[in-house]
Amino acid sequence: MRHVDFSPLYRSTVGFDRLFTMLDSLAQPDQGQAYPPYNIERTGENTYRITMAVAGFDESELSIEAHAHVLTVKGEKGEGDTAEQSEFLYRGIAKRAFERRFQLADHVEVRNASLKNGLLHIDLLRDIPEAMKPRKISIAAENANQAKAIEAHVN
């Protein structure tokens, strides 16, 4: 994949730093981060849901933070686990910490989060302020029946 140099654009634009940083990060490989698996779905016109498979984690071991257009979900297993006292013959359930980040668009906010059956659901809402929504502007039509007068000044 080609690498695109955005440095000329940094010199001639103001306020687009976040966009160029996102484009730079897209060009880099994901470093193989595939845990935990997740889905992003659109549930309505302005609502979205992120669903993450976090089997083995409970509410106290998960944290969700939204700050400056970035949603961060962290999971850390507690140290006082009773499973450590037994001997595993095979360990297929991951017990590793994770941190997953999602870039949020402008005016997207986290509404709520719930954990059910090992799935963490995070509901998002895109709430565009009224001042930024498109407005319909009516066009006033002139009355065609009214006669138009032409005025002339004589000197």
pLDDT digit string, tens, across residues 9-44: 666 666 666 676 666 666 555 555 678 899 999 999
* Residue length of the chain: 155
pLDDT at 2: 58
pLDDT digit string, tens, across residues 93-126: 767 889 999 988 888 899 999 999 989 999 999 8
pLDDT at 153: 74
Domain segments of the chain: what residues?
Answer: 1-32, 34-128
Mean pLDDT of 74-78: 85
Give me the chain's average pLDDT, please.
80
What topology does CATH give the domain 34-128? Answer: Immunoglobulin-like (2.60.40)
**Residue 75 vs residues 30, 60, 84, 88, 113: alpha-carbon distances, Å:** 19, 9, 18, 22, 14
Distance CA 97, CA 91 (A): 16
